[in-house]
Amino acid sequence: MKTIDVLCRARMAPRAAPQRQRGTSAVEFAIVAPIVMLMLLGLIELSMAFFADLSMQYAVREAARYAVTGQVNDDPNSANQQQYLAVIQKMKDSSMGMYTKVNPVIIVDNTSYATSSSYTSSMFGKPGDIVVLQVKCQWKLVTPLLKAFFPGGIYQFTVGATMQNEQYGT
């Protein structure tokens, strides 16, 4: 009976860790933590890039819808009342702040408009015309892990919408 009692106590008694293993958890954490943090930051940044993509897709769709109705009331210079300025303003308003962060190049019917000075009054066509509105965007990546997968460390995407102009008055 005594031998069984001694064996049970020996199994239940906590063992002391050998001295040479002290601090191994801290060393393992120091090795693994930077890798995990880098992956976490990469995931967050990639999520932000996809959010910019979806936000700009929504903004382009809203701007195209606004363009085909022939409205001009969103023109920032109300005395001007030009459709292209109103459509660009609608795109900026609908982009949730992403418009200025993605370096947009606006393409309407295969004509590129890189700067506001290149916008024209016939940019969105006449009533009944098909309007193809595209925006080429760039999202600059910061995380080194992602830069390796994207040329030049830039995530490039194009969003677009195609609609037919309504029969609005001129």
pLDDT digits (tens, 9 = 90+) for 59-79: 999 999 988 887 777 666 766
Residue 158 lies in a domain: yes
| Separation of alpha carbons 6 and 20, rounded Å | 28
Query: How many structural domains is the chain composed of?
Result: 1
pLDDT at 51: 96
Residue 41 lies in a domain: yes
| pTM of the predicted model as reported, rounded to 2 decimal places | 0.75
| Separation of alpha carbons 138 and 130, rounded Å | 26
Domain of 113? 33-164
Residue 106 lies in a domain: yes
| Separation of alpha carbons 166 and 170, rounded Å | 12
Residue 144 lies in a domain: yes
Residue 10 lies in a domain: no
Residue 2 lies in a domain: no
pLDDT at 100: 92
Written as six digits, the tokens of 97 are 């702040």
Residue 13 lies in a domain: no
pLDDT at 47: 95
| Separation of alpha carbons 109 and 132, rounded Å | 5
pLDDT at 34: 93
| Separation of alpha carbons 130 and 165, rounded Å | 6
pLDDT at 67: 86
Residue 107 lies in a domain: yes
Low-confidence ranges of the chain (pLDDT < 50): none
pLDDT at 10: 55
